[in-house]
Chain A
Amino acid sequence: MSRLEPVFSACRAESRAALIGYLPAGYPTVEGSKDVLRTMVSSGCDLVEVGLPFSDPVMDGVTIQRAAEQALRGGFRVRDLFGVVESVAAAGGRAVVMTYWNPVLAYGVDRFARDLAAAGGLGVITPDLVPDEGAEWIAATDAHDLDRIFLVAPSSTEERIALTARSSRGFLYATSVMGVTGARDVVSSAAPALVKRVREHTDMPIGVGLGVRNGAQAAELAAFADGVIVGSAFVSAVQDDTVAALTEELASGVRQAAAAV
């Protein structure tokens, strides 16, 4: 059973996509990230992705790299992650964690899953773990009843999309462009085609991310995806102190698509 199923079915009942917002834990500080995430939840994120800052984030563009660096320089420790997740749950929000694989290995694969589940986390997105290498992770997430979200990309073959869909639970993360995180001016044309291909393999919800930064883009993605994932734009909004406004804009964006249909 998927822990995230209620999130997506509630959105589906409103004929809209879910808004999924990302923020690195520990950014700008541990307490500061709890505040920002609470604002994201109360202003309209259906789900938050709590990022685990990592020293070598190869899938991230410069905005998230800098935020992770700042968190680590501020003394962020992996154990702080669980407190951040707990505070989201306590505020009535729903949280998954987004993490590179090495910190999970270092913490202990089963221990990580156990402690995250205990903190109220619902699942984990692993951008540099493919299902082929995921046997231990699949066992741990099964044991602790966490969703596991693997990624598909425009370059994924049909065979790999099928494998990834089979191995995931909760939703599938479709990276809409070939590239790293970072806000972009235009939504990629590869995204609709990728989502269409993925739907031939699964009826699991599909979240689309990479590059979204405003309500119009969110509306565009919401027309064909089940979840719209926004990352770098939230990090920038923390700097500009516009998190609530951005969340509201994106939340109305994911609702516009339904209105337009």
Chain B
Amino acid sequence: MARGQLAPTPHDPDERGHFGPWGGRFMPEALIAAVDELAAFYEKARVDPEFLDEFARLLRDFAGRPSLLTEAPKFAAHAGGARIFLKREDLNHTGSHKINNVLGQALLTKRMGKKRVIAETGAGQHGVATATACALMGLDCVVYMGEVDTERQALNVARMRLLGARVIPVKTGSRTLKDAINEALRDWVANVDDTHYLLGTAAGPHPFPVLVRDFHRIIGIEAREQILEKAGRLPDVVAACVGGGSNAIGIFHGFIDDPSVRLVGLEPGGDGIDTDRHGATLTAGTPGSLHGAMSYVLQDEDGQIAEAHSISAGLDYPGVGPEHAFLKDSGRAEYRPVTDAQAMEAFALLSREEGIIPAVESAHALAGALVLGRELGPDGLILVNLSGRGDKDMDTAIKWFGLGVES
């Protein structure tokens, strides 16, 4: 059951998508009709029992929800003894939280009568989830992926192709996620009549930040019930990695009205935020408009968008969803950077101690939990969103740890 996950909340933006000064629509007029149409269909769908039932059914029977909540005691022993629970989005079909949003938007695509879906992808998880949903629902699928990412996530390229999607390597700009979004937007302008742009994170122009968030709210709804049952109380901290911000906003919303629960987003610190090789948008960015919304952005003093750097392709993005900018300013959520080295240490630690290989993206949240646990002490209770599994990251791990065959 979706349990009201799409119901309007007091945290919704205004009619034109503004969360305070953030969000909105900074995009070409040619696409306004399409986002208006999407918003109109979504407003109807989010309160339509038939849509809600169909979405709930897909989450249950296809994605495999509810996902588990698993305690990680041996991992937690490295975190000052605080208790740590993992929300197991890695166990969803296709291996990450991304499937929640994709199923919701694919259903909307059908409702709008569109036959073709385009998507951007960084790590390839959103591309794989989109290709999966399109195979399931009989939609044509084209995925734009930065050329750099097609190389570091070759396994996911193969998965998408097997699922019937066309993967187009993007060779312009920094050849990563932001350039894949640019290229998807260019495709969308030219093909908007029959094409839905299935954006993969809680960013972009209104209504994407709201509808992507809502499709992921199931994470927080389930996790809140599960942790109350297993730990008997609310967590002190909910930790999630933040690329564009979709897995984080989905779990945060389950606890946003619980003032005792700290919401902590972990950003890709790359080589460190004192270098220029990182992707810590909320920690080190400045206000700007990118890909359709006002938010924090990594940019130079001329407003040219900077290249983000992260070991994790899924976090390698110089922008972030506007609701996170709002939560940062209001103080309701905190955001901290995690370096590549810290993330990879947590990646190895969870694998060894708990028998769970996390996505490198999710390893940022785990690394944050190690630090937060020590701050909270042994009475602490931390909920970590384990947004995805690490199979796709084996090349990265082989390179980082030198995991070749022993000679």
Using a CB–CB distance below 8 Å, which chain A residues touch chain B? 54-59, 61-62, 65, 69, 72, 77-78, 101-107, 127-130, 132-133, 150-157, 160, 164, 175, 177-180
In whole angstroms, what is the CA distance A104 to B288 when docked?
10
Could you say which interface size class chain B belongs to?
Answer: 35 or more
Contact A56 B302 (CB under 8 A): no
In whole angstroms, what is the CA distance A157 to B299 when docked?
34
Which residue of A is nearest B18, CB measured? A133
Task: Choose one: B16, B31, B172, B289; the contact of A62 (CB below 8 Å).
Answer: B172
B193 surroundings in chain A (CB, below 8 A): 178
Nearest chain A CB to B276 CB, angstrom units = 15
In whole angstroms, what is the CA distance A107 to B304 when docked?
11
Cβ-closest 9 pairs across A and B: A106-B303, A153-B30, A103-B303, A179-B190, A155-B33, A55-B304, A102-B303, A78-B302, A58-B185
Task: Choose one: B27, B34, B286, B304; the contact of A155 (CB below 8 Å).
Answer: B34
Nearest chain B CB to A106 CB, angstrom units = 3
Nearest chain A CB to B146 CB, angstrom units = 13
Which residue of A is nearest B286, CB measured? A106
A175 surroundings in chain B (CB, below 8 A): 29-30
Contact B190 A178 (CB under 8 A): yes
A128 surroundings in chain B (CB, below 8 A): 26-28, 289
In whole angstroms, what is the CA distance A114 to B20 when docked?
27
Q: Given known contacts A56-B305, A105-B287, what 5 new A-B pairs fall within 8 Å (CB)?
A: A57-B182, A65-B172, A77-B302, A160-B29, A180-B190
Interface of B is mostly: mixed
Judged by a CB distance under 8 angstroms, whether B178 is at the interface is: yes
Nearest chain A CB to B27 CB, angstrom units = 6
In whole angstroms, what is the CA distance A65 to B173 when docked?
9
Contact B302 A180 (CB under 8 A): no
Contact A107 B186, CB 8 Å, known A102-B289, A128-B26: no
- How many interface contacts (CB-CB < 8 Å) are there between A and B? 114
In whole angstroms, what is the CA distance A114 to B402 when docked?
57
Binary per-residue interface labels of chain B (40-74) against chain A in the complex, 1 for a CB within 8 Å, 0 otherwise: 00000000000000000000000000000000000
Using a CB–CB distance below 8 Å, which chain B residues touch chain A? 16, 24-34, 172-173, 178-179, 182, 185-186, 189-193, 286-291, 297, 299, 301-305
Contact A156 B24 (CB under 8 A): no
Contact A178 B299, CB 8 Å, known A55-B173, A128-B26: no
Contact B190 A103 (CB under 8 A): no
Task: Choose one: B24, B28, B34, B288; the contact of A102 (CB below 8 Å).
Answer: B288
A101 surroundings in chain B (CB, below 8 A): 26, 289
Task: Choose one: B172, B182, B192, B288; the contact of A105 (CB below 8 Å).
Answer: B288
A177 surroundings in chain B (CB, below 8 A): 190
Task: Choose one: A61, A130, A178, A180; the contact of B25 (CB below 8 Å).
Answer: A130
A69 surroundings in chain B (CB, below 8 A): 172-173
B29 surroundings in chain A (CB, below 8 A): 130, 150-153, 155-156, 160, 164, 175
Contact A129 B26, CB 8 Å, known A55-B305, A107-B303: yes
Nearest chain B CB to A207 CB, angstrom units = 14
In whole angstroms, what is the CA distance A177 to B186 when docked?
13
Nearest chain B CB to A104 CB, angstrom units = 7
In whole angstroms, what is the CA distance A250 to B211 when docked?
47
A72 surroundings in chain B (CB, below 8 A): 304
In whole angstroms, what is the CA distance A185 to B216 when docked?
45
B287 surroundings in chain A (CB, below 8 A): 105
B32 surroundings in chain A (CB, below 8 A): 130, 155-156, 160
In whole angstroms, what is the CA distance A129 to B287 when docked?
16
Which residue of B is nearest A156, CB measured? B29
Contact B33 A157 (CB under 8 A): yes
Query: Looking at A58, A103, A160, which has the most chain B CB atoms within 10 Å of its CB?
Result: A58
Contact A58 B24, CB 8 Å, known A103-B302, A178-B192: no
Task: Choose one: B16, B28, B33, B186; the contact of A151 (CB below 8 Å).
Answer: B28
Contact B28 A153 (CB under 8 A): yes
Task: Choose one: A57, A61, A155; the contact of B30 (CB below 8 Å).
Answer: A155
Contact A54 B304 (CB under 8 A): yes
A78 surroundings in chain B (CB, below 8 A): 302-303
Contact B186 A178 (CB under 8 A): no
B301 surroundings in chain A (CB, below 8 A): 106
Which residue of B is nearest A104, CB measured? B303
List, sorted by A's number, 28 A–B pairs whose CB atoms are closer than 8 Å: A56-B178, A56-B179, A56-B291, A57-B182, A58-B182, A58-B186, A59-B28, A59-B189, A77-B302, A78-B303, A101-B289, A105-B288, A105-B303, A106-B299, A106-B301, A107-B302, A128-B28, A128-B289, A130-B32, A132-B24, A133-B25, A153-B29, A155-B31, A155-B32, A155-B33, A155-B192, A175-B30, A180-B190
A160 surroundings in chain B (CB, below 8 A): 29, 32-33
Contact B28 A133 (CB under 8 A): no
